[in-house]
Chains A and B, each alone.
Chain A
């Protein structure tokens, strides 16, 4: 079984500052993928970034980067230069190879302050 833990129910960040959202995971599968999604209040779940368990380098997508520490089973999301539009719920999720199941954490609500 897989488990995702997001320990920060809510976070505040000043506009233009960087912020790190924490995610730890637990799995016995050797091959898996880690994902981050953003969910604005409208409800849509927007894919942000992906990291494979065998990837040697940390994933980056524009202002998003994933700080992947495999030995510690953590996959923190870093958002640089925060914008007001970044205010939303952020979910960490994982998926094992060969599985349909995408296991989500409980999410972190990020609020960007002007």
Chain B
């Protein structure tokens, strides 16, 4: 069982739909992340939350809206997405963002297809 769980694992949505991705970490970490992995592109950092506060937004379009109600849960709300947003969305967590040796642990990912 992974320390970071994501639901759903697979999601197909229309461009006018509103859906959410959920992430929960069981590792006692204080930082949580959303990454996007598209075909033929390196992983891209989208958002970072530390102690529930957003500390980084990597110029992500507003159709992606993150929410972090507590240090263990992270959501990514999706609305009016485009087909090019189809990708694997990976949630991750780490103990602290300041030390380069703090390992970032990832979940199993949510495969998103926008039709």
Residues of A within 8 A of B (CB): 4, 31-33, 35, 37, 42-47, 50, 52-53, 91, 95-107
Complex interface: chain B residues within 8 A of A91 (CB):
43
Q: Is B75 an interface residue (CB 8 A)?
A: no
Asked if B108 and A102 sit within 8 Å, CB to CB, the answer is no
Q: Assess whether B103 is in contact with A47, with CB atoms less than 8 Å apart.
A: yes
Instruction: Tell me the B residues contacting A by CB distance below 8 Å.
Output: 2, 31, 33, 42-43, 45, 48, 50, 55-56, 88, 90, 92, 97-109, 111
B15 to chain A, nearest CB (A): 23
Shortest CB distance B4–A (Å) = 9
Task: Beyond the given A43-B109, A44-B2, A52-B101, please list 4 additional residue pairs across the A-B interface where CB-CB is below 8 A.
Answer: A52-B100, A96-B100, A97-B100, A100-B31
Residue on B nearest A47 in the bound complex, by CB: B103
Complex: chain B residue closest to A49, CB-CB: B103
A44 and B106 contact, Cβ closer than 8 Å, known pairs A100-B31, A100-B56: yes
Find out whether the CB atom of B101 lies under 8 angstroms from the CB atom of A43: no
A53/B100 contact (C-beta < 8 A), A44-B2, A100-B33, A104-B42 known: yes
In the complex, the chain A residue whose C-beta lies closest to that of B98 is A98
Residues of A within 8 A of B99 (CB): 97
A-B CB contact pairs (8 Å), 27 listed:
A31-B100, A37-B106, A43-B88, A43-B90, A43-B108, A43-B109, A44-B107, A45-B90, A45-B109, A47-B103, A47-B106, A50-B101, A50-B103, A52-B100, A53-B100, A95-B100, A95-B104, A96-B100, A97-B98, A98-B100, A99-B97, A99-B100, A100-B45, A100-B56, A101-B56, A102-B104, A104-B43
Looking at B31, B33, B99, B104, the one whose CB has the most chain A CB atoms below 10 A away is B104
Contact A43 B111 (CB under 8 A): yes
Question: In the complex, what's the smallest C-beta–C-beta distance from B23 to chain A, in angstroms?
Answer: 13
CB of A28 to closest CB in B, whole Å: 14
B107 → chain A, closest Cβ, in Å?
7
Residues of A within 8 A of B50 (CB): 100
